[in-house]
Structure 1
Amino acid sequence: MFHSFSSHKKTSPSPPAPARLNKSCSECTRRKVKCDGGHPCSSCAYYKVSHLCSYRQRNKRNAVSRSTLEEVSERLRSRTETLERLFPGRAVDDLAGKSRDALLDLLRVDVTPGTAAGESAGNSAGDPDVADDSAQVSENGEPAADRQWDESSHQPPVLQVGDDINAINLATDHHRRSYLGVTSVSAILRAIFRLCPSAKQRVAEQAKQWPEIPSQPQPQSFLSGDMSANLLKEQRCIDFYFEHVHPIVPMLDEHDFRTAYSTGDRRDPGWLGLLNMVITIGSIASGSDTLHEQYYEQARTFVDLDSFGAGNLESLQALCLLGGLYLHYRNAPNMAYAVIGAAHRVAIALGLHRESRRRNMNAAEAQAGATLNPVSRVEIRRRTWWGLFCFDTWASMTLGRPTCGRWEASTMDTTLPSLVTEDDHVAISLRASAQFCLICNRIQHRFAQFNRLTIPEAVAFDQELQAWFNSLPLVLRSPTNSPSRLTIAREFMRNRYLNIRLILMRSLILYLAHGRIQKTQLSVEERQIINTCRVVASEAIDSIALYWTPNRIHVWNSAWYLFQACMIPLLSIVIEGSRPDPNVDAVSSARASLVKALETCSEMRPWMRASDRGPDIVAAVYEAITGEAEAAGRTPSQDGDSNFFGWYDEQLTFGTELDWGSFLMDDDIQGTLFTTTQ
């Protein structure tokens, strides 16, 4: 009989095997003698070095297979190629340790023109920190119409008054939309109507009730009528031009111009185009409502496409007056923008962007020439270049568009305008304007970049602007020390100075609102920006109300900048009206500023154009946001039609929609933000 025996006793798990030791101790290995593996071993005991007897643990070998090595190498190579495509020309080691924001800033700076419209636009959609003000998508996600506008003179009068840049096409063609950035009026208006959707409808209803612009009479033929009467009209317009417009941008030699006109010797197309543009703008300064139409039609026969085929200084000056002044007066800012761009190319082709070394005269020659000719030909070339530069910069302040290399110190070295005599006030004016526009050129270039403006940058720009203004001579700062001929030029300069400071601050305020600020995050610098914006806007309204003069050119300019300055008081009232406990003092101060602005517009009305809608827009928005709709609860519009008016349908230079909720409910911010005017 066989029996099987099994043990039912549970066995404990065996302890892990000790780490394998080397067969020989370290001392025997050093002596190169046989070791028996003891501790201490017999050899170490024999040599009486038992304290040195120790065994090293054997290190495990990590052998890597060839396939694993190839896989890791391929992965490293693909990541390196991706980084090189994102950051061309930058070493990978230089990118190590940088934060996400720093890498995004480098990515925006390194973006190439070929990827700006494609890859960069795609990144903007996925990253809320990337600004994208060029999106062709409406608020409800539907594709928007392609950008287009029609500013031709063949439109009906009711359409001729509507342009999207100046935001005056409330009740006209809503399909005209050109590219505008965060510096534009449409950005502020869009914010106002998102905060107060009920006001959007009320303003539209009021806009439809505005009277149509009366049609202008057809231009008359210059060959009919009394020629002596026409000559008197022309002489009067030329006088008004040199008295009121020439000091703003003194591109012409007044002595040579008047001599050529009186003798009648010059009949070349360039000169005739310039003559008719001077008369056209001079007729506006004289107060005529219709005369400029007649002379503009005459000027168009000389300033046309053929004028680009015969480049000369006079035809360039005619283009500058056309694109820098007159087309803006006709509410055709996009057409003016294109004409000035073409004029810039003509100026470079004429070599005005370079200081001619061969034509520079020494001091004695210059003094001798000054006695014969008040302004030398070289100086006129300089003044024409800087006049063109100023026209382009002034018109682009609120566009948010690239500067297209308007001034590059590495390729352009034209000297600033110089004074022929010590009391050459027009040269002083143009020189100061050129220095101001050099600062504005850098500001506009910064706004056109993908990454948003920072507070330190805005503060630095603002300090530079203030330093420029404080360095101006008294004739350009003080009305009591300024000659009468510089009145309009001085006030133009002050309005533009305050406006560019206002644009800097109000754009930052929109950024702050977009960032869903909490009250614990509002820094001292941010509070200072908000307060500076309020102070500058109040100063702008007070300055225009105090110093405007009854002249159509001056009123045209002042009314536009007054409209700009009214945006923040309107936004202030909307924000305070959305709070459960509004700041009564802030609302009262904002209303007082708006009342002052509207009263000033009422006083200026006789000298305004029939197409000036700025006061109507301000009054309509003011009535809408302070009316009965204010009592109803407001929430930011989420499904409104962003094409409602056509001029505020941009994506406010942000990748995501505005979220005003947390911003509006912040009591601490509301006590500081928008306490009065823009």
Structure 2
Amino acid sequence: MSSDVRDSRYMRDDRSHSPPDLEFDTIEALEWDETIEQNILTDGIGSLSLQTKASGYMGPQSGNALLRHLHSVVHFLSEGEADLDFSSFPVDPETSQETQALIHSNGFRNECLDWYFQHFHKAYPLLHEGFFRAQFMGAIPKPKDGSWAVLCNMVLAVGAFAGPQSSNRADRLFFHHAQSALSMDLLQRGSIHLVQAFLLMANYLQKRNKPNSGFTFLGVAMNMALGLGLHREFSDVSITPFTMEIRRRVWWTLFIFDSGARLTFGRSSILLAGGNVKLPVNLDDSDLAVDNEALGEPRDYPTVTSSLIWQCKLANISNEVNARLLERRLPQRAEMLALDNRVLQWQESLPPFFKQSPAPDHAWFDVPRMILLWRAQHLRIVLTRPFLLDALQRRQPLNTNDANDIVVRCITAAQDCTQSIISFFLTRSSCPGALAWYATYWLVTAVFVSVTCLIYDLHHPSAVVWRGQIENSQKTLQTMAVFEPIAGRAALILSRIMDLVPCSPNSVADLAANDAVRMGITDIWSESWLQVDYQAMSDLVQTVDSNDVEL
């Protein structure tokens, strides 16, 4: 291992201190404007954008921070590729006459509604399917608070995005119709329909690469929900069992959306005191009726609330993980091991129908099931990753013999997550847009661990496994790019980074030529982006250039 990169600039012993705030030329650098319909400045998974200006605050555990470091050391993307427009918002959404006509077609609108309840609702049951469809058809009255135009168009937008035709851009037109229906008057009202609408808007905007706008609407939904008392349990004396159960579903969906966004972008979690609302009951929509006098017994098979119930339990752990990661650059090892053990215990306590492929009559459950399992693996990676990066920075060997070692846990969780996603997509001939987005997010997080390990130690016994998973991840991401443009960008970035790695570790000349850059990458990768010495990075790149290293 080259000694010329063992520089004190990269070896600070500040692992126990809270990450300091990043210094900017002006504080306006943290402001953003996501109304601009041009090359996107940020991405919804917090991992694939190189922009540092006008993109909002991204905390030290966001994948976005790590990617910026890599690109700072060696510009593996050209200027054009770094600014590549992988946004899904066209400059003028009204210009497509064909798509404009499509969204007014009753047949297509019904398809979007079907896709919503088929691909989104079964993981995030914000609505009651029968009740909403009755409103949609005009069989029962629509809400009178002005929320319907926003809520209905957001359901159609999410359905169009989540379905198999997400590439036809119809979802953007539905979104713009919902956006046009917003007004200050609506923000001066409060109803569960508005909370549902703002929640869908928040989730959609993140997936369409406007994460700060989505985060803002998440805050609106949260405060409106608190104003409506959705965090509180009420007795049957004052509320019907049907209404109380829908309120539970809405609150806990809000809870997991909020938890996930804060972990993704490295933003502080909010601790809410005074909430006593129960988790939803494991029941299907067909088990709920507006005239129910009491709820039935929980089902022992998958329902539309099964995934939500267990996501809520996982989110409680996730919030603690996020708090620990933001407190210290390198949290206490014992604390993080305990949290990782809690994730493993949570996984062990899952009902049997989460641990095996569903029966044919519940085949629909395979997607919510895998989303939940991948979410847990992603959390394990994020909470153990600081210790892997610290080990690399201190030039420790990657000893993978002790399965309980926290570094080994990170590597193993990443490999398991990567292989699970790759295997899942190998068996599928089609891919809903919503699934492609989530799979891209978690695959990027997982495979970048293997990339880091391979760059660090080309001779490691697991190097062949890492390289194979990286190559298969590229292929999987390229396949998903048909449905999700971010996946194509991720595949491109993987390809550019792998150009730094000799095809064979026995290629001495290539290995020696790239050694300084590779070790520099591991050093910078190991830093919190809040603490990066940008002059040191610049010096490293200049040193590499002056030695005529070919990358």
If the TM-score is normalised by the length of the shorter chain, which range does it land in? 0.7 to 0.9
1:229 Cα deviation from its structure 2 partner: 5.8
Q: What is the CA–CA distance in structure 2 between the aligned matches of 1:147 and 1:181, rounded to whole Å? A: 15
User: 1:223-270: CA deviations, max 9, x gaps?
Assistant: 998799622221111111001100111011111101111116426321
Moved more, 213-222 or 460-469: 213-222
1:435 aligns with 2:313: yes
Task: Check whether the contact 1:136–1:146 (CA below 8 A) recurs between aligned residues.
Answer: no
Q: What is the CA–CA distance in structure 2 between the aligned matches of 1:517 and 1:177, rounded to whole Å? A: 33
1:416 Cα deviation from its structure 2 partner: 0.6
- 1:359-508 → structure 2 map (5 Å cutoff): 359=237, 376-405=242-271, 407-408=272-273, 411-420=274-283, 421=287, 422=299, 423=301, 425-450=303-328, 452-481=330-359, 483-508=362-387
* Cα distance change of structure 1 residues 575 and 469 upon mapping to structure 2, 3 Å threshold: same
User: 1:296-316: CA deviations, max 9, x gaps?
Assistant: 111112334432211100011
* Cα distance change of structure 1 residues 551 and 180 upon mapping to structure 2, 3 Å threshold: same
Q: What is the CA–CA distance in structure 1 between the aligned matches of 2:103 and 2:404, rounded to whole Å? A: 64
* Cα distance change of structure 1 residues 435 and 266 upon mapping to structure 2, 3 Å threshold: same
Q: Secondary structure at the match of 1:460?
A: helix
Q: What is the CA–CA distance in structure 2 between the aligned matches of 1:488 and 1:447, rounded to whole Å? A: 29
- The one of 447, 455, 480 aligned to 1:574: 455
Moved more, 466-475 or 143-152: 143-152
Task: Check whether the contact 1:148–1:177 (CA below 8 A) recurs between aligned residues.
Answer: yes
Which residue pairs with 2:191 in the alignment? 312
- The one of 10, 15, 21 aligned to 1:134: 21
Which residue pairs with 1:166 in the alignment? 46
User: 1:323-373: CA deviations, max 9, x gaps?
Assistant: 1x2101210112211211221111101111111246477xxx85xxxxxxx
* Cα distance change of structure 1 residues 223 and 620 upon mapping to structure 2, 3 Å threshold: closer
Q: Which has the larger radius of gyration?
A: 1
- 1:510-525 → structure 2 map (5 Å cutoff): 510-514=389-393, 516=394
Which residue pairs with 2:5 in the alignment? none
Which residue pairs with 1:219 in the alignment? 93
- The one of 538, 541, 553 aligned to 2:415: 538
Q: Secondary structure at the match of 1:182?
A: coil
Task: Check whether the contact 1:133–1:182 (CA below 8 A) recurs between aligned residues.
Answer: no
Moved more, 650-659 or 297-306: 650-659
Which residue pairs with 2:436 in the alignment? 555
User: 1:388-418: CA deviations, max 9, x gaps?
Assistant: 001111222232221122x43xx11111111
Task: Check whether the contact 1:303–1:315 (CA below 8 A) recurs between aligned residues.
Answer: no
User: 1:445-496: CA deviations, max 9, x gaps?
Assistant: 2222247411111111111111111211233232234712322211211111
Task: Check whether the contact 2:61–2:266 (CA below 8 A) recurs between aligned residues.
Answer: yes
* Cα distance change of structure 1 residues 416 and 215 upon mapping to structure 2, 3 Å threshold: closer
Q: Secondary structure at the match of 1:310?
A: coil
Unmatched tracts of structure 1, length 5 or more? 1-124, 138-142, 367-375, 577-581, 661-678
* Cα distance change of structure 1 residues 144 and 591 upon mapping to structure 2, 3 Å threshold: farther
Which residue pairs with 1:110 in the alignment? none
Which residue pairs with 2:112 in the alignment? 237
Aligned partner letter, 1:166: G
Task: Check whether the contact 1:244–1:285 (CA below 8 A) recurs between aligned residues.
Answer: yes
Q: Secondary structure at the match of 1:607?
A: coil
Aligned partner letter, 2:268: P
* Cα distance change of structure 1 residues 638 and 425 upon mapping to structure 2, 3 Å threshold: closer
Which residue pairs with 1:605 in the alignment? 481
Which residue pairs with 1:69 in the alignment? none
1:201 Cα deviation from its structure 2 partner: 2.5
TM-score (norm 2): 0.79
Task: Check whether the contact 1:499–1:540 (CA below 8 A) recurs between aligned residues.
Answer: yes
Q: What is the CA–CA distance in structure 2 between the aligned matches of 1:228 and 1:572, rounded to whole Å? A: 47
Q: How many percent of aligned residue pairs carry the same amino acid?
A: 21
Q: What is the CA–CA distance in structure 2 between the aligned matches of 1:570 and 1:187, rounded to whole Å? A: 16
- 1:315-354 → structure 2 map (5 Å cutoff): 315-323=194-202, 325-354=203-232
* Cα distance change of structure 1 residues 622 and 510 upon mapping to structure 2, 3 Å threshold: same
Aligned partner letter, 1:585: P
Which residue pairs with 1:78 in the alignment? none
Which residue pairs with 2:81 in the alignment? 207
- The one of 451, 459, 462 aligned to 1:583: 459
Task: Check whether the contact 1:418–1:427 (CA below 8 A) recurs between aligned residues.
Answer: yes
Which residue pairs with 2:3 in the alignment? none
Task: Check whether the contact 2:47–2:63 (CA below 8 A) recurs between aligned residues.
Answer: yes
Task: Check whether the contact 1:502–1:536 (CA below 8 A) recurs between aligned residues.
Answer: yes
1:188 Cα deviation from its structure 2 partner: 3.3
Q: What is the CA–CA distance in structure 2 between the aligned matches of 1:259 and 1:315, rounded to whole Å? A: 18
Q: What is the CA–CA distance in structure 2 between the aligned matches of 1:249 and 1:503, rounded to whole Å? A: 23
- The one of 505, 528, 548 aligned to 2:405: 528
Q: What is the CA–CA distance in structure 1 between the aligned matches of 2:374 and 2:516, rounded to whole Å? A: 35
Paired residues, what number?
495
TM-score (norm 1): 0.65
Task: Check whether the contact 1:126–1:655 (CA below 8 A) recurs between aligned residues.
Answer: no
Aligned CA RMSD, in angstroms, stands at 3.9
- 1:214-293 → structure 2 map (5 Å cutoff): 216=90, 218-220=92-94, 230-263=105-138, 265-266=141-142, 268=144, 269-286=146-163, 287-288=165-166, 289-293=168-172
Q: What is the CA–CA distance in structure 2 between the aligned matches of 1:658 and 1:417, rounded to whole Å? A: 52
Q: Secondary structure at the match of 1:160?
A: coil
Q: Secondary structure at the match of 1:398?
A: helix
Moved more, 263-272 or 499-508: 263-272
- The one of 471, 487, 497 aligned to 1:595: 471
Q: What is the CA–CA distance in structure 1 between the aligned matches of 2:381 and 2:351, rounded to whole Å? A: 23
1:634 Cα deviation from its structure 2 partner: 4.0
Q: What is the CA–CA distance in structure 2 between the aligned matches of 1:240 and 1:395, rounded to whole Å? A: 24
- The one of 155, 159, 171 aligned to 2:37: 155
Unmatched tracts of structure 2, length 5 or more? 1-11, 288-298, 504-508, 538-551
